[in-house]
């Protein structure tokens, strides 16, 4: 319940702040941010990334999975 009140409080603070903005460039940046929220990330990634994801999904469906511990051991140097 407390998180809901905090969320609502932040929304009201933003609304009040927006009502005072006179700089059109700031408003345009906010609109650009709003537009990005509606963009599907799938359309923004490369074909190689899409193919890699599709391969991963096919492997998962075929049961070709590794345990988290094994993956962590393999990739620990980068995590």
pLDDT tens per residue, range 35-55: 888 888 898 899 999 999 999
Please, what is the end-to-end C-alpha distance for the chain in angstroms? 35
pLDDT at 63 over 70: yes
**Alpha carbon of residue 44 to chain centroid:** 12
Rounded CA gap, 39 and 46, in Å? 15
Average pLDDT over residues 1-30: 90
Question: Across residues 5-26, what is the average pLDDT?
Answer: 93
Whether residue 24 has pLDDT greater than 90: yes
Q: Does 1 have pLDDT greater than 70?
A: no
In this prediction the pTM is: 0.46
């Amino acid at each position: 319940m407390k998180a809901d009140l905090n969320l609502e409080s932040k929304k009201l603070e933003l609304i009040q702040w927006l009502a005072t903005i006179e700089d059109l460039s700031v408003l345009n940046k906010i609109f650009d941010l709003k537009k990005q929220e509606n963009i599907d990330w799938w359309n923004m990634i490369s074909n190689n990334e899409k193919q890699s994801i599709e391969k991963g999904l096919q492997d998962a469906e075929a049961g070709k999975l590794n345990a988290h511990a094994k993956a962590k051991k393999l990739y620990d140097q980068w995590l």
